[in-house]
Structure 1
Amino acid sequence: MNAATSTLSARPRHASGLDRWAIGLSGLCVVHCVTSSVLIALMSTAGGLLATPIIHEVGLVVAILLGVVALGRGFLRHRRVVPALVGVVGLGTMGWAMTLPHDASGGEALWTIVGVVLLAVGHLLNERAARLAPVTTTP
């Protein structure tokens, strides 16, 4: 087999890969279009339900409970306070955001997202610290 033959035989594989990418992209386009249509239809129906205060209140309570349990257990295992502090600041930010007006001018959504990200970072730090902590047995 010479260089020209090996180059020609390599092209179909490359072209085949490009075809697969194009088919995949087309499939993603279809999924995007169908999903967008369905979500827009559902949002008009469920939009009122998702905006009710009880959804936010229940979500915050669940976040607080999970945060206390997970961050608390992590602290007891690894004794690092930073993950818990970052998580508590996130929870506090989420709670404070609930006091803001629920419209674009109040920044409620922005501050909720900031709080959620801080809480997630706290959980990530907690998980990493727990993974690196030495295993100790208590009598």
Structure 2
Amino acid sequence: MRRTFLSIRDRLDGTGIILSGLCMVHCLLGAVLVGVLGLGGGVLLSPAIHRVGLALALVVGLVSLGFGVMRHGRVGPLVLGGLGLALMAAAILVGHGLPEAVLTVMGVSLVAFAHIRNLHAAC
């Protein structure tokens, strides 16, 4: 039972890292495709994509990083992840453009790093 729980938690951290990477690619690629080529603005810049992505990041991040604190007792990854999630939320509030891209990239980088630290702290 405990082994299964740990495996699920580790998978959630892995999922968080993957989601962070996908978010960063979406942000950077979206800026290039829309800004430089004028392609895909309706789909890539849809507010729904950003809200769903943030919701997924919140659920995966808080669950896996929260379980990490319970397992290894280190709050650093949770604090770091929370800061990254706050930056991602701020990116949604500022609207499209360079400030959104900068906040998003900083946020997802912190969240991914928090998941990596969470995995390492559990070892």
Gaps of 5+ in 1: 1-38, 132-139
Q: Which has the larger radius of gyration?
A: 1
Please list the CA deviations of residues 10-56 of structure 1 after superposition, one character each: whole Å capped at 9, or x if unmatched.
xxxxxxxxxxxxxxxxxxxxxxxxxxxxx89xx86643211110000
TM (norm. structure 1) is: 0.59
Residues 1:118 and 2:94 aligned together: no
Q: Distance in 2 between matches of 1:111 and 1:44?
A: 22
Residue among 46, 51, 54 paired with 1:52: 46
Q: Distance in 2 between matches of 1:84 and 1:68?
A: 7
How many residues align structurally? 89
TM (norm. structure 2) is: 0.66
Gaps of 5+ in 2: 1-32
Task: Report the equivalent of 1:18.
Answer: none
Q: Percent identity?
A: 43
Q: Distance in 1 between matches of 2:60 and 2:69?
A: 14
